[in-house]
Amino acid sequence: MGRKEKKRDRIVLARWGDLYRLLGESEIVLIVLDARNPLGTLSRRLASWARRKADHWVLVLNKADLVPPEVVFAWRGYLEERMDAPTVATSATQRMGTLQLRRLLRRLARDVEGPRVRMLVAGVPKTGKSSLINVLRGRHSASTSLYPGSPGYTRTYTLYRLEGRLYVYDTPGTAPDVSDELERLVRIYPPEKLRAPERVAARIIERVSTRFPHHVREVYKVEDPGDPYRVLEEIARRRGWVEKTTGEPLLEQAALVVIRDYLSGRLLYYVEPPR
């Protein structure tokens, strides 16, 4: 999967050199993960840089509203122990945990001397970095977007003032440099630019059905959730997406629906920490 993906079809990602430089200028680094799949949305390089170079670094499990509280709790424990960084669970959209995050940042900022404290917010695309900055700032300043490459996604490095001496850099995403190839593909390519969206969608359907056997059937009202390609066929037929002359279902279009539902959280999916 993914071998035919073209680099030029990717969204604009943060350049490692740029991030490294900004990291050097920042006293606090906030690495934002998707609470549904924290290790699959981690950049190890970013974490190791933050550990070595920042005065303080914090992990944020955002989109915690999409995961049962006990699973979020388990991830916090796991990450705090493994990564040795304070870990906060938040939901930028439901305003959960954001007060706690704000308090932690204020406390860390107090430790830093000088006229201003800079904080770098980084992480893979679509973890909610820009949304979190907006909540912390209390107004919509950083532009956000629904899917990789959709209008408004973050392409530049922007410094915002949060409060008092505290400033924050919003940054474009980085590719998850972990072995989760599926997360990598759906986060750095706009869905419509994927070479074989039906293969990616089939993997998503498999992944979701393995974890939650009835869920795919419930969301798409399909008969046979066991065969991912049949699921795509049914989604296409139900929406009338068929080839005019042959009546063949248009799997690619159905695949885009599945990929977007995975990203938006309409498809329920989360993983638990390793034991």
Ligand X SMILES: Nc1nc2c(ncn2[C@@H]2O[C@H](COP(=O)(O)OP(=O)(O)O)[C@@H](O)[C@H]2O)c(=O)[nH]1
**Residue for token digits 């388990």?**
74
146 binds, among ligand X, Mg ion, none (CB under 5 to 8 A by kind): ligand X
Query: Which residue, 149 or 249, has its beta carbon nearer to ligand X?
Result: 149
Count of residues near ligand X by CB under 6 A = 20
Query: Checking DSSP bridges between strand 87-89 and strand 117-123, what pairing results, if any?
Result: unpaired
In the bound complex, what is the minimum distance in angstroms from residue 13's beta carbon to ligand X?
A: 11
Helices (H), 156-227: 181-188, 197-211, 215-220
| 62 binds ligand X, rule: CB under 6 A | yes
| 158 binds ligand X, rule: CB under 6 A | no
Out of 144, 188, 197, 200, name the contact with ligand X by CB under 6 A: 144
Interface residues with Mg ion (CB under 5 A) are: 129-130, 154
Element counts in the chain: helices (H) and strands (E): 10, 6
Give the whole-angstrom CA distance, residue 76 versus residue 70.
10
Q: Which residue is nearest to ligand X (CB)?
A: 128
In the bound complex, what is the minimum distance in angstroms from residue 244's beta carbon to ligand X?
A: 34
| 19 binds ligand X, rule: CB under 6 A | no
Number of residues assigned to the chain? 275
Between the alpha carbon of residue 227 and those of residues 75, 200, 210, 236, the distances in Å are 31, 14, 12, 15
Burial of residue 113 (CB within 10 Å: 0-12, 13-18, 19+) is exposed
Query: Which residue, 177 or 227, has its beta carbon nearer to ligand X?
Result: 177
Query: Which residue, 19 or 66, has its beta carbon nearer to ligand X?
Result: 66
Out of 36, 76, 126, 260, name the contact with ligand X by CB under 6 A: 126
Residue 11's closest CA among 193, 199, 146, 181?
Answer: 193
User: Could you write out the three-class secondary structure of 89-130?
Assistant: ECECCCCECHHHHHHHHHHHHHCCCCCCEEEEEEECCCCCHH
260 binds, among Mg ion, ligand X, none (CB under 5 to 8 A by kind): none
In the bound complex, what is the minimum distance in angstroms from residue 227's beta carbon to Mg ion?
A: 36
| 130 binds ligand X, rule: CB under 6 A | yes
208 binds, among Mg ion, ligand X, none (CB under 5 to 8 A by kind): none
Q: CB–CB of 88/104 below 8 Å?
A: yes
Q: CB–CB of 131/92 below 8 Å?
A: yes
Out of 41, 98, 154, 174, name the contact with ligand X by CB under 6 A: 154
CA diameter of the chain: 70
203 binds, among ligand X, Mg ion, none (CB under 5 to 8 A by kind): none
Binding positions for ligand X, rule: CB under 6 A: 62-63, 65-66, 91-93, 125-131, 144-146, 154, 173, 265
